[in-house]
């Protein structure tokens, strides 16, 4: 799979990022991969490659050196990059976050609800009840929330209650060391991959042969 390290321009300075995409024709659905404490960016490249093998264009910014206040600007810069990237169909964007990146993924799904169709957050710190409800009321896509076995989730259930109250479709997963990949891939596929239109009877040569 092709891959590259790129640099995105910020208001002050630049943002390093890693991109991976499938070597097949056509514009691909994008996934923005966000990682943060306790899941630093060491796993980001391998995760990006793994997702790109399933026909996604994956952008993984290096957020480890950014202050918390700068990460929101970085996430918005990534969305702008995907909008301009010719290999991307950005009408439906997915975002996948680990650790602190999970909270960012949910914030971004609310901030850019017109484009983000699916947000998955694993090991996020969570939100208080008021913030969770405010975010949930602005999300326009589907959500997947992952909790690691044995991890203390002080705010577990708060976001789920807010999502339910706001009518957001979501599911949850309890995982050991990493997400259940078949389920995660199915989650993104259902939200991001536009089904091919069914052939109209009579326009397919095979149909004409059967219906002279």
- Count the domains in the chain: 1
Predicted confidence (pLDDT) at residue 212 exceeds the cutoff of 70: no
Omega into 80 within 30° of 0, i.e. cis?
A: no
Tell me, what CATH number does 105's domain have?
Answer: 3.40.50.1820
**C-beta separation of 10 from 173 below 8 A:** no
| Per-residue pLDDT, 197 | 57
Segment 62-67 shows an average pLDDT of 84
pTM here? 0.88
Q: What is the pLDDT of residues 176-201, one digit of tens each?
A: 888 999 999 999 999 999 765 555 55
Looking at the chain, which runs of residues are DSSP E strands?
3-9, 14-20, 30-35, 57-61, 93-98, 116-122, 142-148, 170-175
Work out the angle between the directed axes of helices 100-111 and 68-84 (0-180°, nearest 10): 60
Provide the domain limits for residue 139: 3-210
Phi, psi torsion values for 129, nearest 5 degrees: -60, -45
């Amino acid at each position: 799979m092709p891959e590259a390290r790129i640099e995105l321009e910020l208001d002050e300075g630049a943002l390093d990022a890693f991109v991976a995409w499938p070597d097949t024709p056509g514009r691909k659905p994008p996934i923005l991969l966000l990682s943060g404490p306790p899941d630093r960016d060491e796993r980001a490249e391998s995760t990006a490659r793994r997702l790109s093998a399933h026909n996604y264009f994956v952008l993984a910014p290096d957020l480890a050196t950014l202050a918390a206040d700068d990460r929101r600007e970085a996430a918005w810069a990534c969305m702008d990059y995907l909008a301009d990237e010719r290999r991307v169909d950005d009408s439906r964007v997915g975002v996948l976050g680990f650790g602190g990146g999970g909270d960012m993924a949910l914030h971004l799904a609310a901030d850019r609800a017109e484009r983000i169709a699916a947000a998955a957050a694993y090991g996020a710190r969570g939100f208080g009840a008021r913030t969770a409800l405010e975010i949930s009321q602005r999300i326009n896509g589907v959500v997947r929330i992952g909790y690691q076995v044995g991890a203390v989730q002080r705010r577990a259930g708060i976001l789920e209650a807010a999502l339910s109250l706001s009518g957001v479709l979501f599911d949850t997963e309890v995982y050991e060391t990493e997400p259940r990949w078949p389920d995660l891939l199915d989650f993104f596929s259902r939200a991001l991959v536009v089904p091919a239109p069914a052939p109209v009877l009579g326009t397919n040569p095979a149909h004409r042969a059967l219906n002279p």
